Amino acid sequence: MIRLTNITKRFGTTEALRGVTFAIHPGEVLGLLGHNGAGKTTTLRLITTLADPTEGTIDRPPEFKRRLGYFPDDPFLFDYLTGREMLYFMASLYGISREAIQPRTRHLLELLELDKKADQLLVTYSRGMRRKISLAGSLLHDPVYWLMDEPTEALDPVAVRNLKDLISSRRELNRAVVISTHQLALAEAVCDRLVILDHGCVIFDGTLTELKERAPVHATLEDIYLQLVGAQCSGLAPGRKPR
């Protein structure tokens, strides 16, 4: 389990996160929701150790970095490697043998429909194709904790469907998955629990069922989300109406 306790992160005079507390459990798909600038990416970077909190603590399991898979919003790739070479390089960083990596690479390339482009240079890839390579690389070492930042951005519908299947399979293997997104449909389709951020604060932590209990019977997730965020922005308790 990973636990964030009273996390605050400042960039100069800007407070990106304020007192953020929640846990990430094995076998759970956690959706980290919020509008642009709510603090989602900052939270992921703190969890992955790419940044340090200004205040608060993050408790991680032993050998966390070796057990982590991270799919960033803007992946860094070496343009003059081929897609296959890039995956082999990423695998070498985790000490995976060539014999083991070949079938894993082949499977992921086929799943993400990159097998016919795998031996072309990455400089020729579209943004969507580059993101697929990064997605594949984040799974090569069978991570226990899989963190993704806006994972469906630039992916085609088939890739999105395959991503959802991959998320389900990670849950079945008792892996923890964290998805940072503002795509409410994705969160509703795959997440077991939601943490909603607004202006750097956690304004909800619970299941989709618990969230829906706060709203009228026929309200959509979009309705509930907008009501919750709107109440916080207005300085009101969730569910209250302005006078």
DSSP 61-100: -TTTGGGEEEE-SS----TTSBHHHHHHHHHHHTT--HHH
What pLDDT, on the 0 to 100 scale, is given for residue 218?
72
What pLDDT, on the 0 to 100 scale, is given for residue 97?
86
| Contact between 195 and 202 (Cβ < 8 Å) | yes
Look at strands 55-59 and 2-11 and give their pairing: antiparallel
What pLDDT, on the 0 to 100 scale, is given for residue 231?
63
Domain 1-61+145-158+175-243, CATH: 3.40.50.300
Q: Where are the domains of the chain?
A: 1-61+145-158+175-243
Which phi and psi (to 5°) does residue 34 adopt?
A: 160, 160
What pLDDT, on the 0 to 100 scale, is given for residue 243?
27
Residue ranges of the chain with pLDDT lower than 70? 217, 231-243
With the C-alpha atoms ordered 151, 206, 23, 228, is the resulting torsion angle positive or negative?
Answer: positive
Q: What's the burial of 186, exposed, middle or buried (CB within 10 Å: 0-12/13-18/19+)?
A: buried
What pLDDT, on the 0 to 100 scale, is given for residue 224?
86
What pLDDT, on the 0 to 100 scale, is given for residue 221?
83
